[in-house]
């Protein structure tokens, strides 16, 4: 069946498959680390610090990785990412006594480099595998890749909790090492050798974008994802476990279902933001969809301290926030891929996802600190402030990635 498809479609499917396999292990590893080290008695701030290098090296990797992809090809940067994730997972197979904070932080650093090499390569590759000027198709394919990836990350959250319960920490990690090693071997054999190589080799000084629109969009992305991780990454799972008494499998299953639903909505974003199927978004939509995100955050922050049923409010608030955030994420992902320069596309995409990683880094640290110092409500208020800044930045976007205002 696959042999009847065009070469570009086969390459797209392989890129997507690589991204899916990596994302499954990435989501599972995140849940494994949070739940396992919470069980060992680590504080929320200490757990957040375990991810410090993961997020920090994501910032560095997107800058350098975009330049590297333009010079050596996106196939190589994607395969390097897969290989580094195998190494990072293998580092966690040491005896329990060696799983110190510095050691886990080092493993997470490699995982952060791997994740952003893989994501930058996958997102950049779409621009090259879709015919130039086919913006509606580009929007649908970007939304599908982004949404399916997040659904798989949600499945990874569930897988992480399940494997931790079934096989223990080391058994769970070993299972992921085996799966990802097989994916790497397939990618080395099948992925195109010249994907994404720029016609002229970019200088290292070109890693910083000179486009005001990309800079504005990147800044908005920083605050958008900082807002999500400020309450979702550390504060929420610890709150569900420590304050509401949820079991590890309940926490991981709930967050997994949330992210899967979030991914499904992302794939539908072209239909939700357009008046007709797959229509390009208008200029007003980044502002309006971002502004709408403040509503569930405000409702949760004001209700959690007064309601007798916080778990019910959290479930409803998360569903509303997840749906709105999914549309925002897909909309932003489309706009950066549309705007990126087709030659050396990974430079622009890498810079943009550098801002994404910076937002996640800031959000993760604030999530651990604010929750430990002031509780979940403080995390929610901080997230609302970040969304407000993102909304104001969105009003400054001016470029041809939008449809004409109706």
Higher pLDDT, 210 or 25: 25
Q: Work out the percent of the chain whose per-residue pLDDT is above 70.
A: 84
Query: What confidence tens digit (pLDDT) does each residue in 300-314 have?
Result: 888 887 777 777 888
State the pLDDT at residue 138: 73
For residues 223 and 256, the model is more confident at 223
Q: Which residues of 31-40 are buried (b: 16+ CB within 10 A; e: fewer)?
A: bbbbbbbbee
Which pLDDT score, from 0 to 100, does residue 72 have?
78
Confidence class of residue 237 from pLDDT cuts 50, 70 and 90?
A: confident
**Band (384; pLDDT cuts 50, 70, 90):** very high
Residues 6+ apart with CB under 8 A from 138: 126, 127, 130, 334, 337, 338
In total, the chain counts a number of residues equal to: 406
Asked whether residue 277 carries a pLDDT value surpassing 60, the answer given is no
For the chain, domains (ranges, CATH) are: 2-394 (1.20.1250.20)
Start-to-end C-alpha separation, the chain? 42
In the chain, pLDDT over 90 holds for what percent of residues? 17
pLDDT: which is higher, 359 or 159? 359
In this prediction, residue 83 carries a pLDDT of 94
314-339 residues labelled b (16+ CB within 10 A) or e (exposed): beebbebbbbbbbbbbbbbbbbbbbb
Q: Is the pLDDT of residue 405 over 50?
A: no
Task: Tell me 254's DSSP state.
Answer: H
Band of residue 362 on the pLDDT scale cut at 50, 70, 90: very high
| pLDDT tens-digit readout, 24-44 | 888 888 878 877 777 778 777
Q: Using CA atoms, how far apart are residues 360 and 336, in angstroms rounded to an integer?
A: 18
- The pTM assigned to this predicted structure is 0.74
């Amino acid at each position: 069946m696959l042999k009847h498809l065009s070469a570009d479609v086969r390459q797209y499917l392989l890129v997507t498959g690589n991204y899916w396999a990596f994302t499954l292990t990435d989501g599972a590893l995140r849940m494994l680390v949070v739940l396992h080290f919470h069980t060992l008695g680590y504080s929320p701030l200490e757990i957040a610090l375990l991810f410090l290098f993961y997020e920090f090296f994501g910032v560095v990797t997107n800058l350098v990785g975009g330049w590297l992809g333009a010079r050596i090809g996106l196939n190589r940067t994607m395969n390097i990412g897969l290989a580094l994730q195998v190494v990072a997972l293998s580092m966690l197979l040491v005896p329990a006594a060696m799983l110190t904070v510095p050691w886990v932080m080092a493993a997470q650093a490699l995982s952060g480099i791997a994740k952003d090499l893989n994501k930058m390569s996958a997102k950049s590759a779409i621009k090259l595998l879709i015919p130039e000027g086919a913006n509606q198709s580009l929007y649908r394919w970007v939304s599908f890749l982004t949404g399916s990836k997040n659904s798989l990350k949600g499945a990874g959250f569930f897988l992480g909790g399940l494997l931790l319960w079934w096989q223990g920490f080391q058994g769970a990690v070993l299972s992921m090492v085996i799966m990802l090693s097989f994916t790497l071997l397939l990618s080395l054999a099948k992925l195109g050798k010249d994907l994404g190589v720029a016609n002229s080799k970019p200088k290292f000084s070109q890693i910083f974008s000179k486009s005001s629109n990309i800079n504005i969009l990147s800044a908005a992305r920083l605050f958008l994802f900082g807002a999500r991780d400020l309450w979702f990454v550390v504060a929420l799972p610890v709150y569900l476990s420590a304050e509401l008494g949820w079991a590890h499998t309940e926490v991981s299953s709930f967050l997994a279902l949330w992210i899967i639903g979030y991914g499904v909505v992302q794939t539908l974003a072209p239909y939700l933001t357009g008046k007709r199927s797959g229509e390009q978004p208008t200029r007003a939509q980044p502002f309006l969809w971002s502004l709408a995100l403040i509503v569930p955050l405000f409702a949760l922050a004001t209700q959690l301290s007064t309601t007798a049923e916080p778990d019910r409010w959290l479930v409803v608030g998360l569903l509303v926030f997840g749906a709105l955030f999914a549309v925002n994420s897909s909309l932003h992902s489309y706009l950066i891929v549309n705007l990126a320069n087709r030659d050396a596309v990974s430079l622009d995409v890498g810079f943009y996802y550098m801002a994404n990683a910076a937002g996640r880094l800031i959000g993760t640290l604030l999530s651990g600190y604010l929750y430990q110092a002031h509780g979940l409500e403080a995390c929610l208020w901080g997230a609302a402030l970040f969304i407000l800044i993102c909304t104001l930045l969105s009003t400054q976007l001016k470029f041809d990635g939008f449809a004409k205002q109706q």
